[in-house]
Amino acid sequence: MKSSTDQKNQALAKVRLDKWLWAARFYRTRTLAKQAIESGRVHYAGSRVKTSKEISVGDELTIRQGSATAMTEKTVVVEALTIQRGNATAAQALYSETEESEKRRAYYAEQRKLANLARPDNKPNKKERRDLQRFKNKQE
Comparing 10-19, 46-55, 104-113, 115-124, the range with the smallest average pLDDT is 115-124
23-72 tens-digit pLDDT:
999 999 999 999 999 999 999 988 999 999 999 999 999 999 988 777 88
**Average pLDDT of the chain?**
88
CA pair distance 79, 95, nearest whole angstrom: 5
Name the more confident of 74 and 5.
74
Q: What is the CATH number of domain 4-99?
A: 3.10.290.10
Name which of 40, 44, 32 is nearest 76 in CA terms: 44
Q: How far is the C-alpha of 52 from the C-alpha of 89, rounded, in Å?
A: 26
State how far the alpha carbon of 73 is from the alpha carbons of 40, 98, 102, in Å. 12, 11, 9
CA distances from 21 to 48, 63, 107 (A): 15, 10, 25
DSSP 28-52: SSHHHHHHHHHTT-EEETTEE--TT
Neighbours of 61 (CB within 10 A): 22
Q: Locate the domains of the chain by residue range.
A: 4-99
Q: How confident is the model at residue 1 (pLDDT cuts 50, 70, 90)?
A: very low
109: confidence class by pLDDT, cuts 50, 70, 90: confident
